[in-house]
Amino acid sequence: MLDFSYKADELNILNADKKWISFNTVTKEVKLDSYNVTFPWEYEKSSILLEVKKYSEKLFYNFLIDQKHVVIITEDSFELKEEILTFFWDVDLLVIVWTKESAKIFESIEAKIVIPYGEAKDIFLNTLGQHTEELDTYKQKWELPIDSTEFVNLGK
């Protein structure tokens, strides 16, 4: 089970072993169990695998946590090419900044659960007809949607 929370510009993910991933939506910093991840590499810490890829001078994060692929996309201004799309394969949970430009990115990734953030996230959810209640926390159980995408509206 993964627990998601969003407070004071920090999106936090807690796994079953009580290990944290923290993502600051303002500074774009990602921490893996308090280790600040600042460059592309493959990491393994506290049973969490992380691959960080640099593409178009931006960092992209692909985690394997409790057998779930979690991708964090911090930027919306990059060209969608095969090189980066292959990095986003098999996404279970997608955390994505929401702007008009990120619509193409979202449509190119078949995520099972999407957690948008940013000032325009409510517009994004409404545009897709997702009038989901704003939650303080979200607990992702073991079962993932099979033929649909679930949207989660985390509040600050």
> Which pLDDT tens digit goes with each residue over 99-125?
877 878 888 988 999 999 988 888 888
**Average pLDDT across the chain, whole number:** 90
Supply 78's token pair: 């990059």
- What phi, psi does 127 have (nearest 5°)? -60, -35
| pTM, full prediction | 0.91
- Give the per-residue pLDDT at 62: 97
Domain residue spans in the chain?
A: 2-154
**CA–CA separation, 66 and 9 (whole Å):** 24
| CATH, range 2-154 | 3.60.15.10
